[in-house]
Amino acid sequence: MSRIQRGYEDRFRALLRRARARQLERGVQWLVAKAQRLSASDGMLLADALAQVCEHLATRKPLRQSASQPTPALFLCDAGLGGLARWLRAAGYDAAWQPDIADDELLRQARALPATVLTTDGMLMERRLLRDRIMPAFWLPPTLSIREQLALVFREFGLTVRGLSAAG
């Protein structure tokens, strides 16, 4: 199984938990099978089919993030998300990024600050601190464009573009 598929399975689990699904693993397997059928029937890459199934699921009304969840004070982006960090800052959010930051250092900084980790690294999400939700983190599919990453983060955390005060 690929890292991308594993990442989507984790994302499906999170969405199904939010919907309070009773048979979590069965639901995850059903969604993966749906993506596999879509991939075969439409001749698309499995990663693209998984993204399409995930997008469809995440935009369903009962699964949208509730506005009551507090907005993270700081996002820490992994080494591959420099563009996303820039766009988050442009939208008025505090987002930090360092090129070539090691996973251990990223987690150390996130814990010290505290910050929500944004990553495309499925292996990083398997680390105990993130897997067991000791630290807040969000996995983004590595196949997404920066625009798609930004839209996903906005939807997941209920963000809106923050107004800039007019200089007078």
pLDDT, residue 64, reads: 55
pLDDT at 63: 58
Domain-located, residue 128: yes
What integer pLDDT is reported at residue 67 of this predicted model?
A: 44
CATH number of domain containing 115: 3.40.50
Q: Is 54 within a domain?
A: yes
pLDDT at 168: 42
Question: Are 94 and 146 within one domain?
Answer: yes
For residue 139, what are the β-bridge partners? 119
Q: What is the pLDDT along the chain (168 residues), one digit of tens a residue?
A: 677 888 888 888 888 888 888 898 999 999 999 999 999 999 988 888 888 888 888 877 665 554 445 778 899 999 999 999 999 999 999 999 999 999 999 999 999 998 999 999 888 888 888 888 889 999 898 888 999 999 989 988 889 888 655 444
Listed in sequence order, the residues at least 6 apart from 5 whose beta carbon sits closer than 8 Å to its beta carbon are: 32, 46, 47, 50
Q: Tell me which residue range forms the domain holding 97.
A: 75-157
How far is it, in rounded angstroms, from Cα 132 to Cα 156?
19
Residue 88 is predicted with a pLDDT of 96
pTM: 0.73
